[in-house]
Structure 1
């Protein structure tokens, strides 16, 4: 039976067998770097949360991210059409959590931002372990996508690690799940199941590092009849254990630390992503990028998400290698101060 994440003021650390019933962050014994207990209001302002739902297919790539940074809430949505290189993008930024809500229950709650004729909503349902993304834009663009971890017998990666001297991060991730739903937009109308779309999902929250960076690689799809998804990163969630893993037909395979090799002066040149344990050996050829940069003294962000194709091999410790050929996905290079 699921339990709250925090017990006796401390979080459960490591890879968890199942999601916590709730992320009860106000029960955390939050202290300053010098050991002084923080007031409840300091806990509220230091706690951050975000959620992401992405869809990948040869015909359409899309996704939505929602973040509660306390001083503001941010929503970002995109659609990318590989055949034309065209994109639809929309970003919302609202002060102090206005017109938004963020559930603290990873498997049964709603995170949503709605303002100025735009709605971005992420639903997690315990019944059927179902995830749903609903986006409606003022220009008529609409995306309604969903998948069931239970139906496809997927187990998410649930991990909690320490962050800096006085924090922690809980992350719950899954990738490579067959996706259903519809998209209506200027790029065309799409039935996600009919175009063979696969989904990935990320629910993360905690007392994150004030200043951080990361590289991330993700994909979801079908390779030689095997449903494949991976979540690979460097720079976050790496205290004692990593979040790196991949799924083959729903089976979770844990991976050691990963390395990202790329040209920082030109991120649109080829990348190499590989793991210390030899399970992951990938090349990545960029096709396009979304980027933005903000430097506002107390907060800052340098974000680059690059769309492209992976080639390479995943080699399970106890199974047959899986080859990836011209496999759509993306990588990130990000710095954040929040």
Structure 2
């Protein structure tokens, strides 16, 4: 199934969201223009508008993740580096910012976009560079990343749709992107050259209680994104040999009490069946006055098979590096 090209904006001239899955980057996520029944007042949008920009960097030795999150009334950022050979986190960063000042998540992920986080001398930036490339910089003293990635070797997914308890959400998910650069963890340096990057740009009006399971892993020729929870199957996708294919509803079989035990993920359309073997995890549980978050993101490898259609031969997936996630937020 070929996806239609992405529209320039995710809302049409009448104020209706352009729901569905598309191939390409949108340039406007203007929820203030929504018409009924999706329209909401300005205060409601302020409290429910959530934006984040997440980047994953993978090599045979290292897996890094960086995120900038704008909750409207608050902001936060995190980053970590996981040494896959040692089986442990070798650097991490997590910081809440000053509302309206510390975090600036770009209004889109297309050309000229820039997301930033700053708290005192600690900084993160994710910028779109010329020729469909991206630059990621992190400086938190002991932990630094200087990376470039792109251009895309396969189409970027745009998914737009309603969310229960909220209004409308949209997300951009990339396939695997060529990667190069360096990571500094204290006195130890790592090369990112010949690695693979991917990104997740999400922008929507979400419910106060939001929960999901997520899995994502990418090479340059194969990759996938799966989600079960607040957004249904709308962002489920497979990247295979430069092509983008939509996937049906995803299932996550894992032990919440022992998330470092093996996971099994599959889709209803019989296009993906994978087993995930965690190597370690980043986890965080926070209880604040207005908000709460319970989050675990195991890092590991996926093995099994995928295919482009029910009649296509199965493509073997062997130890593809990526993450799974279980996340529940009150925000």
TM-score > 0.5, shorter chain as reference: yes
When residues 27 and 118 of structure 1 are mapped into structure 2, their CA distance, relative to the original with a 3 A threshold, is: same
Q: Could you tell me whether the CA contact under 8 Å between 1:57 and 1:221 is conserved in 2?
A: no
1 CA distance for matches of 2:270 and 2:160? Answer: 24
Tell me whether 1:231 sits opposite 2:225 in the alignment.
yes
Tell me whether 1:189 sits opposite 2:189 in the alignment.
yes
Q: What residue number does 1:323 align with? A: 316
2 CA distance for matches of 1:156 and 1:120? Answer: 23
Alignment of 1:133-212 (within 5 A): 133-139=136-142, 141-150=143-152, 152=153, 154-164=154-164, 166-186=166-186, 188-193=188-193, 196-212=194-210
Tell me whether 1:65 sits opposite 2:67 in the alignment.
yes
Deviation at 1:176, TM superposition (A): 2.0
Q: What residue number does 1:20 align with? A: 26
Give ranges in structure 1 of 5+ residues lacking alignment. Answer: none
What are the superposed Cα offsets for residues 246-295 of structure 1, whole Å, 9 maximum, x if unpaired?
Answer: 21232112111110001122111111011111111111112211111122
Tell me whether 1:96 sits opposite 2:99 in the alignment.
yes
Q: Which runs of 4+ in 1 moved over 3 A?
A: 29-32
Tell me whether 1:116 sits opposite 2:120 in the alignment.
yes
2 CA distance for matches of 1:57 and 1:208? Answer: 33
Tell me whether 1:242 sits opposite 2:234 in the alignment.
yes
2 CA distance for matches of 1:281 and 1:38? Answer: 39
2 CA distance for matches of 1:334 and 1:202? Answer: 16
Q: Please give the secondary structure, in 2, of the residue aligned with 1:16.
A: strand
Q: Please give the secondary structure, in 2, of the residue aligned with 1:11.
A: coil
Q: What residue number does 1:79 align with? A: 81
1 CA distance for matches of 2:166 and 2:327? Answer: 22
Pick one of 275, 279, 286 that aligns with 2:267: 275
Q: Could you tell me whether the CA contact under 8 Å between 2:97 and 2:118 is conserved in 1?
A: no
Give ranges in structure 2 of 5+ residues lacking alignment. Answer: 1-5
Q: Could you tell me whether the CA contact under 8 Å between 1:177 and 1:250 is conserved in 2?
A: no
1 CA distance for matches of 2:176 and 2:61? Answer: 16
Deviation at 1:75, TM superposition (A): 0.5
1 CA distance for matches of 2:241 and 2:147? Answer: 20
Q: Could you tell me whether the CA contact under 8 Å between 2:167 and 2:206 is conserved in 1?
A: yes
TM-score (ref. length: structure 2): 0.90
Q: Could you tell me whether the CA contact under 8 Å between 1:81 and 1:187 is conserved in 2?
A: no
TM-score (ref. length: structure 1): 0.88
Deviation at 1:38, TM superposition (A): 4.2
